[in-house]
């Protein structure tokens, strides 16, 4: 395994590598560059060389190098900073015969690179090895280990002599290698273990290569893997040798079926420890991974042609696949995926996609923090609605068969649905507006089956809650509630398309507080006006929360007047404290399914409609008058012509 064929290995798609050489004056920077490019030690070199290019065939990766010499004079620090910001890697030099230049690495140069925010691999190079006195001989590991522990950006250290041609090509080979085959994403130097994302990628590759799904790579599967990655088969003796190496170090790395996942990971850790990072990078890149150990962007469909008022949903085929995945990973068959089972499911992805907002805590969970099937599918529905490319990416990671773009569908526009007076959607997005302490968060919590809490904390961030709502006839629809903080409404409505993706809006107020009611109606008018102006009108419902408290005086009269004036349903009373929800979530879905109803009309909107009707009527009268005139003129001409003919 990993006996590379002749020729270049994948090189992360880079057209060239730019290496900047820095260090104290007199440490041998220019001589190092000259000797690397010409194989001859220069008798005289200028203070700073012009950019030096090593051709693509200089090293096996066949990627050309541009080497930038620099001045360490204070007056040239601005130019030095510019060059460092453009670097792919930095070669940092010291002189082996000048210990003070070695000390300056940690007291000046490495802190300076951090100050300039240079975040590329650093190769520390000791030049003038031939000038070091016998009594100055020291162990490079002994000197550099504490510096490397402090400055993790150091990729490797090497000593060389331009005068005696000692390890000169190796300097820039290591620099190029640090760019094309970096250690950082793969290996934790401190713990001497593969990094989690590397393990996850290799696990996915192992599963893809384990064609018979027996948990081990047979000799034939190992050979197929070798041919795919390195374009050369393994001889039977080589396969035996690979398995022997693994079994000697790790008995569980090989079983009667072949090389296990543990053995596969061990081999890659071994390659990296021996400095053969190009082997692991070749494997990763052959399976489509980039330098961040994520699938390359060109492998994931990311452009979806859709109008602002269209949404994206999973297809029935994808939902059935996810049902099967749920059953497969529900190892204890308790009807829920616990956190460890979720982690196992996404163990072939760079990380679990639901560990952070807006997905974290967005779905209903069991007492043991597990996701039921409805909760699991709801999370996927939310991710597909908000970030379809993320859904497709994670479907690929977990092994979705066939074309991933077949897993999603784009819905009809809301404008089309309103004209047809019905919606074709299975996932509805509901914006939840309301003043502070109105009960918005309590509404979202109750939707997720969470117990009522007396403590109230006003949220300043948007928040999502998603769940399945059972409709009459056994139909299931997914509802996404998106809580909009009161302070965020103005900023949101600056965007002309703010309501385009919204299927329905809900306005929550504290039914015992008159000021809460007034603010909720103000928000209702703001949102309705925005919809009328932009053409993205949205059905609206009013929710009278905290129905367990006494209503404010005139509550019924005020709410009746507003709902009648705006042409929408009267406020729906709920009490999250008492668990009385008046079928609110089913009613929200029902209103979203009938997008032509429950659309509020403001006074300004009504005036605009009347004006347009008047203009249209006037245009019609003008058109009719013009038509009558034209007909009359034509009749007169016919009459005149006949009269002239008869006389």
- What value does the mean pLDDT take over residues 589-600? 94
Q: What is the mean pLDDT of residues 477-504?
A: 96
Q: Mapping DSSP to helix (H, G, I), strand (E, B) and coil, where does residue 541 land?
A: strand
- β-bridge mates for residue 91, sequence order: 21, 123
Mean pLDDT of 199-221: 96
Segment 1-18 mean pLDDT: 60
What does the DSSP 8-state code read for residue 421? T
CA–CA distance from 400 to each of 297, 318, 321, 404, 560 (Å)?
Answer: 17, 8, 8, 7, 52
- Whether the pLDDT of residue 313 is over 60: the answer is yes
Please name the helix (run of DSSP H) or strand (run of DSSP E) that holds residue 68, with its range, or none: strand 65-68
Residue 240 has pLDDT above 80, yes or no: yes
pLDDT value for 9:
47
Q: What is the torsional sign of CA 494, 496, 497, 502?
A: positive
Q: Which pLDDT belongs to residue 7?
A: 41
pLDDT tens for 602-642 read 988 777 666 555 555 555 555 555 555 565 555 556 556 66
Can you give the pLDDT at residue 271? 93
Using pLDDT thresholds of 50, 70 and 90, give the confidence band for residue 4.
very low
Residue 94: strand, helix, or coil: strand
Mean pLDDT in residue range 86-99: 96
Q: Is residue 276 helix, strand or coil?
A: coil
User: What is the spatial distance between Cα 554 and Cα 514, in angstroms, rounded to a whole number?
Assistant: 9
**The predicted structure's pLDDT at residue 185:** 92
pLDDT tier at 14, thresholds 50, 70, 90? confident
pLDDT of 10: 52
What pLDDT was estimated at residue 5? 39
What's the pLDDT at 141?
83
Least confident of 71-80, 90-99, 101-110, 139-148: 139-148
* 559 has a pLDDT exceeding 90: no
What average pLDDT does range 262-286 have in this prediction?
A: 94
pLDDT digits (tens, 9 = 90+) for 290-312: 999 999 988 888 777 899 999 99
Average pLDDT for the chain:
90
Does residue 23 contact residue 101 with C-beta atoms inside 8 Å?
A: yes
Confidence at residue 319, expressed as pLDDT on a 0 to 100 scale: 97
Nearest alpha-carbon partner for 159 in 181, 136, 188: 136
Question: How many C-beta atoms lie closer than 10 Å to residue 196's C-beta?
Answer: 13
Reported as a pLDDT band with limits 50, 70 and 90, residue 459 is low
Residue-by-residue DSSP string for 437-488: TSSHHHHHHHHTTPPP-S------S-EEEEEEEEPGGG-EEEEEEEE--GGG
Percent of the chain with pLDDT over 70: 90
pLDDT (0 to 100) of residue 138? 74
**Which residue matches tokens 């409404």?**
489
Q: How far apart are CA 489 and CA 495, in angstroms?
A: 11
Residue 3 has pLDDT above 50, yes or no: no
Return d(Cα 291, Cα 269) in angstroms, integer: 17
The rounded distance, in Å, linking the Cα atoms of 525 and 540 is 11
Residue-wise pLDDT for 117-172, tens only, equals 999 999 999 999 999 877 666 788 888 989 998 998 999 999 999 999 999 999 99
Q: What is the CA radius of gyration of the chain?
A: 35
Within 13 Å of residue 91, how many CA atoms lie on the same side as its CB? 34
Distance from chain centroid for Cα 14? 23
């Amino acid at each position: 395994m990993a006996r590379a064929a002749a020729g270049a290995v994948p090189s992360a798609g880079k057209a060239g590598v730019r290496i900047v050489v820095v260090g104290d004056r007199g440490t041998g920077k220019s001589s190092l560059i000259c000797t690397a490019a010409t194989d001859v030690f220069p008798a005289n070199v200028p203070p700073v060389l012009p950019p030096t290019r090593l051709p693509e065939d200089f090293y096996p990766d066949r990627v050309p190098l541009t080497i930038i010499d620099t001045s360490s004079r204070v007056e040239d620090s601005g130019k030095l900073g510019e060059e460092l910001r453009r670097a792919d890697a930095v070669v940092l030099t010291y002189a082996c015969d000048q210990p003070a230049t070695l000390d300056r690495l940690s007291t000046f140069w490495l802190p300076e690179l951090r100050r300039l925010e240079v975040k590329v691999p650093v190769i520390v190079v000791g030049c003038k090895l031939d000038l070091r006195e016998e009594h100055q001989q020291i162990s490079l590991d002994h000197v550099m280990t504490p510096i490397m522990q402090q400055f993790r950006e150091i990729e490797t250290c090497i000593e060389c002599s331009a005068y005696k041609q000692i390890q000169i090509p190796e300097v820039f080979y290591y620099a190029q290698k640090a760019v094309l085959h970096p250690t950082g994403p793969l290996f934790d130097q401190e713990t001497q273990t593969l990094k989690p994302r590397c393990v996850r990628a290799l696990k996915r590759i192992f599963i893809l290569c384990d064609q018979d799904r027996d948990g081990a790579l047979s000799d034939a599967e190992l050979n197929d893997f070798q041919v795919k990655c390195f374009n050369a088969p393994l001889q039977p003796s080589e396969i035996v040798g690979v398995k022997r190496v693994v079994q000697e170090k790790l008995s569980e790395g090989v079983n009667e079926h072949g090389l296990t996942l543990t053995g596969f990971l061990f081999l890659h850790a071994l390659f990296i420890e021996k400095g053969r990072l190009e082997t692991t990078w070749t494997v990763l890149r052959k399976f489509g991974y980039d330098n961040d150990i994520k699938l390359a962007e060109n492998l994931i469909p990311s452009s979806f042609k859709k109008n602002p008022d269209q949404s994206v949903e999973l297809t029935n085929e994808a939902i059935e696949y996810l049902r099967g995945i749920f059953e497969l990973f529900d190892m204890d068959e308790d009807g829920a995926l616990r956190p460890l089972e979720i982690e196992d499911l996404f163990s072939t992805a760079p990380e679990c996609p639901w560990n952070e907002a807006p997905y974290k805590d967005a779905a209903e969970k069991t007492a043991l923090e597990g996701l039921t099937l409805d909760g699991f599918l709801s999370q996927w529905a939310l991710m597909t609605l908000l970030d379809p490319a993320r859904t497709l990416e994670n479907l690929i990671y977990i092994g979705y068969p066939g074309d991933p773009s077949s897993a999603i569908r784009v819905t009809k526009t809301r404008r089309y649905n309103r004209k047809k007076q019905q919606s074709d959607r299975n996932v509805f997005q509901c914006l939840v507006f309301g003043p502070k302490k109105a009960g918005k968060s309590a509404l979202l919590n109750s939707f997720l089956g969470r117990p009522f809490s007396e403590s109230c904390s006003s949220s300043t961030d948007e928040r999502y809650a998603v769940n399945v709502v059972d409709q009459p006839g056994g139909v299931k629809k997914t509802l996404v509630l998106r809580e909009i903080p009161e302070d965020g409404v103005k900023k949101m409505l600056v965007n002309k398309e703010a309501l385009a993706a919204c299927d329905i809006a809900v306005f929550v107020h504290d039914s015992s507080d008159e000021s809460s009611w007034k603010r909720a109606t103000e928000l209702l008018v703001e949102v309705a006006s925005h919809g009328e102006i932009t053409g993205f009108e949205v059905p609206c419902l009013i929710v009278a929360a905290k129905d367990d408290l006494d209503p404010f005086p005139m509550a019924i009269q005020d709410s009746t007047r507003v709902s009648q004036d705006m042409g929408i349903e009267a406020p729906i009373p709920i009490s999250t404290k008492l668990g009385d929800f008046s079928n609110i979530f089913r009613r929200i879905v029902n209103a979203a399914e009938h997008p032509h109803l429950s659309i509020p009309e403001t006074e300004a909107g009504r005036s605009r409609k009347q004006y347009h009707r008047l203009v249209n009527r006037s245009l019609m009268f003008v058109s009719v008058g013009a038509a009558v005139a034209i007909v009359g003129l034509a009749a007169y001409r016919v009459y005149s012509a006949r009269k002239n003919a008869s006389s």
